[in-house]
Amino acid sequence: MVFIESMNISPITFTPKIAFKSYYKDDGIIGYDDAQSEANRNFIRSHYNSWKMPYQSIYEKEHRLTDYQIKLIIDYLEKNHEMQKIEGADNIYRGQTLVEKTDFLQAVSKKGIKTIIDLVGYGKTYEEAVKDAGMDYFVFNIYENWWDTKNILPENKNRLVRFLKKMQEGNIYIGCQHGANDTDVAFILNDFFNPLLEGKAQTRIKPNETDFPIKLNMYYDLFTKKDKKLLGWTQEFEQRLIKKLISI
């Protein structure tokens, strides 16, 4: 027969009750004032700020927006960033640049935008942010190709052709600093030389202002048969274009 040595079990007493301080303040939480309980509490407190949920680094790196958040951002862009959908175009939006606006880039990406066209030329940091949001980055610097140009050179025309072809692909967000003058110039160029976007966007700048007629005619003179074929010019389109160039 095996005899089990009797054990003395002390009853737990709740008096006196001793309050310990919580992580931030003494909020009246009651706990047992024994060594093990104190050790457990101190362990929890010491790890409170360093605790990481599983895969938290992934979520921090790839912050995901809910559909509701996306809607709020798009609404905000439309009201405050001159964001405008180009009616009749293949998912093309114009507006202010989204540089340093990571959540905004994610939101327009969720709208099906595949390419951000930068009319200012913000550079590598913006390019990386756009690519991190899952989109392509394309630069067509309006300052270099319009405002600061007295004579339209072949390289200006070549950049314009690449820009027009990119616009034809659709799923575009095209932006400048304020979503106004530079995007207007870009859509004037589209209206004159891009048969797929002819007459799609209303602009506040008119093509007969200042030196616009001269520059538009300079661009036209540089277009080659290869350029026209690449962009899908038809005889009817070119006839309309010539009439517009004569009338401005």
What's residue 69's pLDDT?
64
Q: Which two tokens stand for residue 125?
A: 């940091």
Q: Residue 171's pLDDT band (boundaries 50, 70, 90)? A: very high
Query: Is the per-residue pLDDT at 136 higher than 90?
Result: yes
Pick the residue with more confidence: 49 or 238? 238
Query: Is the per-residue pLDDT at 81 higher than 70?
Result: no
Q: Residue 117's pLDDT band (boundaries 50, 70, 90)? A: very high
Task: State the average pLDDT over residues 184-191.
Answer: 95
DSSP assignment string, 28-43: --EE--SHHHHHHHHH
Q: What whole-number percentage of the chain has pLDDT above 70?
A: 67
pTM listed for this prediction: 0.69
Task: State the average pLDDT over residues 12-24.
Answer: 48
Query: Is the per-residue pLDDT at 203 higher than 60?
Result: yes
Looking at domain 85-247, which of 3.90.190, 1.10.287, 3.40.50, 1.10.286 is its CATH number? 3.90.190
DSSP assignment string, 108-128: HHHTT--EEEESS---HHHHH
Pick the residue with more confidence: 84 or 69? 84
Residues 99-110 have pLDDT tens digits of 888 888 988 998
Nearest-angstrom CA–CA distance, 120 and 184: 13
Query: Is the per-residue pLDDT at 7 higher than 50?
Result: yes
What is the average pLDDT value for the chain, to the nearest integer? 80
Residue ranges per domain, the chain? 15-43, 85-247
Whole-angstrom CA distances from 134 to 73, 120, 165, 191 are: 17, 21, 21, 29
Task: State the average pLDDT over residues 234-243.
Answer: 96
Which of 51-65, 86-100, 153-167, 183-197 is predicted least confidently? 51-65
Q: Which two tokens stand for residue 53?
A: 């949920």
Whole-angstrom CA distances from 179 to 94, 120, 218 are: 7, 11, 26
Task: State the average pLDDT over residues 55-70.
Answer: 54
Task: State the average pLDDT over residues 204-224.
Answer: 93
Which of 3-7, 35-39, 159-163, 188-192 is predicted least confidently? 3-7
Which of 80-94, 202-216, 224-238 is predicted least confidently? 80-94
What's residue 21's pLDDT?
46
